[in-house]
Chain A
Amino acid sequence: MSRTALYRFTNTVLLPVATFCVFVGGWEAIVRLAGISKIVLPPPSDIALAFWNGLLAGDFSWHLAVTMYEILAGFVVGALSGLLLGFLVALVPLAERIFYPYIVAFQTVPKVAIAPIIVIWFGYGVTSKIVITATIAFFPLLANTIMGLRATPHDQIEMLVSYTASRWQVFRMVRLKQALPYIFVGLDVAIVLSVIGAIVGEFVGAKAGLGYLILQKNFNFDMAGTFAILIILSLIGVGLHALISAAQRRIVFWIDTGGERVMGA
C-alpha cells in the first residue's frame, strides 16, 4: 500500500471506525461500571441483541414496510408538487405574484405543528402520514427550484440568444441545467425531512409503522428495543441520502460541491 493510499484509508475508514469503537465501548463501560438502570440507558450490547432478535423474529418488517411506504410516497408527492409549483412561479410572472407571498408566509409555519390537524382530517391510516411527509418535503423543492431557475448567468443566456436561440431553447439548454444542482440539494434536504415527517405523523396517531413501534416499546420500558428502531431509522436516512447523492454525482457531474445549500423547511 502506498503512502497516500494508506493515508486515505486511515482517514476514511480507520478513524471513523476507531471513533465508533471508543464511543460504543465507553458507553458500555459507563453503563456497566456506574450501574445505570437499563430502563434509563441500555448498554449497546442489549441494543444489538434487541436489534438482532427483532430482525430474526420479523417484528420490524411490517412496520418498516409501512413507514418506508409513507416516506417514499410522501416524498414523491411533496417533491413533485414543489418542483412543479417552483417551475410555475419561476417561469410565469403572474403565478409568482399570486403564490409567492403565501409561499413565503407558509414556509415559516412549523409543519410539524400542523400534523395533529392533518391526522384529524385524513385519519389514523397511512394517508395522513403521506400528507404530513409531503407537506414537509414540498418546501425544500419549491425554494430550490425557484432559486435554481433564477441562477442562470446572464452571459450564458446572451450567448445562446446571439446564436438565435428561442426562449424554449434557452430554457432547455441552459436554465434547466443550471437549476439541476439546486434541485438536487432540495431533494437531499427533502428526503431526510421525509423520514422525520413520517415518524412525526405516526407519533401523533397511527396503527402501524416504526414511529408507532417506538411509542409502543417506550410504553413497555423496552429501551433497548426503542434504540434498535432508532438504528433502523438512521439506516433508512443514510441509505436514502446515499441514493440521492449517487444520482446527483451522475447527473450533475460538472459541480464538485453540490451547489449552495438552501433549507426550505
Chain B
Amino acid sequence: MSLTRVLPLPTGLPWRTAATTPAQTRAVAAESRRDGSLVRINGLEKIYATKDGQTIHALKDVNLDIGETEFISIVGPSGCGKTTLLKILAGILSRSTGEVTIHGQALSGPSREIGVVFQAPVLLPWRTVLQNVLVPVEVQKRDRTRFEARARDLLAMAGLAGFENKYPNELSGGMQQRVGICRALVHNPSFLLMDEPFGALDAMTRETMNEELQRIWTESRKTVLLVTHSIPEAVYLADRVVVMTPRPGRIVDVIPVDLPRPRTLAMHNTPEFGRFVARIRAHFNSAGTLDT
C-alpha cells in the first residue's frame, strides 16, 4: 500500500498520486511552470550506445521549467539519469533530442552563465585555495583584480577566511567542498548546478553544509539545481523537489515544498517535513534504493 494514501496531505497544493505517463509528466511540469523562467528543458532525451551494441535510454522525455532564484532538488535512485541530466545542463554531455534554453538562449555546450559543483571537490592540488576559486575567472579571461576581491568575499562567506593561501591537501573534506562551491559562484553565474555535492561527507558535516548552502543561496539569490539521493536534504533545501525513476530515466513527480524559510535543522522533526519525505519516498517503495 502506498504511504500517500494513508497520510493526510496539505490542501491547496497540486498533490496527486504518481504521474507515470509522459503526458502526465508534462502536465506536472506545466502546472508548476512560472513566469520568468530562467531555464526551460523541453522533451529532453539521452540514449547511450553500449559497447556490445545495445542502447540505454538514460533520459526519456524530460520537461522542466526552472524559475529565477528557484531552488530545485532532483532525487532518484542510482541510474535514474539525474547526473546525466546535470551533465547535459552543464554542457559537458551531448543530448540525443530535445532542447534546453537559458534566458531564452538555446544551450549548446558549456555556458558562462553556469557554475558547477561536483561530487568530489575536484580542486587542483598545485593551486592555493584562492587560485582554485579563481579558475573560472582565469578560463573565461575576466578581470582578475575585480574578481579576486569577490573570491575573497565568497571564501569569507563560506567560513574560509584565512585559508586563501593554503593548499587543498591542508583542508578537510567539508572545507574542500566549500572551496568547490565558492569556485562555482565566483564568476557570478545565474544558474548553479550541484551534483551530490555532500555525498562523500559524514552525516553531521552534511547537515552543517546544508545549512551553509541555504545561507549562501539566500544571500546570493542564484537559481540552483541540486542532484541528491537524500530525500531529507532535497526537502530541506528545495522550493520544488523533482522525483525521477530509472530505466528509462524520467520525471514522475514535481513537488512544491512550502515550508517557511529560513528553514532550520529542527524542522526535520516536524510532521509537515515528514509528510513531504513520505510523499517522495512513496515513489520508491518498490525500488527501495534511496538513502533514508
Contacts and interface: CB of A to CB of B under 8 A. Distances in A.
Interface in A160-179: 160-165, 169, 173-174, 177
A159 interface: yes
The 9 A-B residue pairs with the shortest CB-CB distance, nearest first, are A163-B136, A254-B125, A162-B116, A165-B139, A159-B122, A164-B110, A162-B90, A254-B126, A163-B139
Interface of A: 155-156, 158-165, 169, 173-174, 177, 253-254
A164 B140 contact: yes
Contacts of A162: 90-92, 110, 114, 116
Contacts, number: 52
Nearest to B112: A164
Nearest to B119: A155
Contact of B111 (A164, A174, A177, A254): A164
Interface residues of B, number: 25
A118 B139 CA distance: 49
Nearest to B91: A162
Interface in B153-183: 167, 169
Contacts of B110: 161-164
Interface in B116-164: 116, 118, 120, 122, 124-126, 135-136, 138-140
A162 B135 CA distance: 11
A248 to B, nearest CB: 13
Contact of B124 (A161, A163, A165, A177): A177
Interface of A: prevailing SS: helix
B125 A158 contact: no
A155 B116 CA distance: 12
A213 B67 CA distance: 82
A23 B97 CA distance: 76
Contact of B116 (A159, A165, A169, A254): A159
B92 A161 contact: yes
A163 B115 CA distance: 7
Contacts of A177: 124, 126
Contacts of B115: 163
A158 B92 contact: yes
A196 to B, nearest CB: 33
A174 B92 contact: no
A164 B139 contact: yes
